[in-house]
Amino acid sequence: MKLVILAAIVAALVPVLTASTDRPSTEGRLVSADRTTAKPKPRKSERCLSSRVAVAYYRQKTWVSQLERGAELADRTPIARGKSCHWSRYAASVHQARARTAHERTERWRQSLADPDVAIEYVFGGYADQAKRVAACESGDTDGDLSPSVVYASNGQYQGMFQMGSSERSIYGHGSTPLEQARAAYAYFVASGRDWSPWACKPY
């Protein structure tokens, strides 16, 4: 009798066990999917290398911008080897900022080749407002922003937007662009003590 009951229980459990073993495992699929889709984290050595490459890249961009406008190349010391990853990341951020600044200055330089106001701001710095007033008065362009034509202003021997005489032009230079004339006027301005005494027009 016991054998009959045991046989009946086994017969009832066989379909259940068979169904559970035939069912595909979702857990295995999830694990394998995670393994295939997860992106490997860059190794520390790879991050260090990319930072060092960035330092060289941004240094080169800085030099290209400086060469275009004839400026002295900054930071030409060789890149130190064997530095830590922390140093490499810091240096990359510093050189990126330098490259951005150099690019912005070069853009201003390009504009100053044609725009008198930008040229004066680029050359005179903190004295730009005074220089603009002097140039506007000397050249006769008092309608607001200086027009590009002020570089051709002429009154006898006095030429350009700052109306520099022939003697002064031979000493401090001259040119056909606002930038060249602004640089010549600034050199004259500095040599005279930064007080605008050589000009008939004063900014105050």
pLDDT tens digits, one per residue of 152-170 = 999 999 999 999 999 999 9
Tokens of 162: 């700052």
Percent of the chain residues topping a pLDDT of 90:
38
Which residue reads 């504009």 in tokens? 111
- The answer on 172 and 121 residing in a single domain is yes
Which pLDDT score is estimated for 126? 95
In a domain, 26, yes or no: no
- Per the structure, the count of domains in the chain is 2
DSSP one-letter string for 5-39: HHHHHHHHHHHHHHHHHHSPPHHHHHHHHHHHHSP
pLDDT in tens, 72-106: 776 666 565 556 778 888 888 888 898 898 888 88
Q: How far apart are CA 156 and CA 174, in angstroms?
A: 16
Cβ distance 145 to 117 under 8 Å? yes
- The answer on 96 and 133 residing in a single domain is no
- The answer on 97 and 147 residing in a single domain is no
- The answer on 121 and 91 residing in a single domain is no
Percent of the chain residues topping a pLDDT of 70:
72
Average pLDDT rounded to a whole number, residues 32-55: 63
In a domain, 21, yes or no: no
Q: Which of 92, 111, 130 is the last residue of a domain?
A: 111
Q: Which domain holds residue 82?
A: 44-111
Q: Which of 77, 111, 145 is the last residue of a domain?
A: 111
Cβ distance 178 to 161 under 8 Å? yes
Q: What angle do CA 37, 45, 59 make, to 5 degrees?
A: 110
Q: Which of 111, 127, 158 is the last residue of a domain?
A: 111
Mean pLDDT of the chain: 79
Which pLDDT score is estimated for 197? 94
In a domain, 35, yes or no: no
Higher pLDDT, 189 or 4: 189
In a domain, 6, yes or no: no
Cβ distance 160 to 153 under 8 Å? yes
- On the 0-12 / 13-18 / 19+ scale of CB atoms within 10 A, 47 is middle
Q: Is 196 a residue whose pLDDT tops 70?
A: yes
In a domain, 151, yes or no: yes
Give the single-character DSSP code of 102.
H
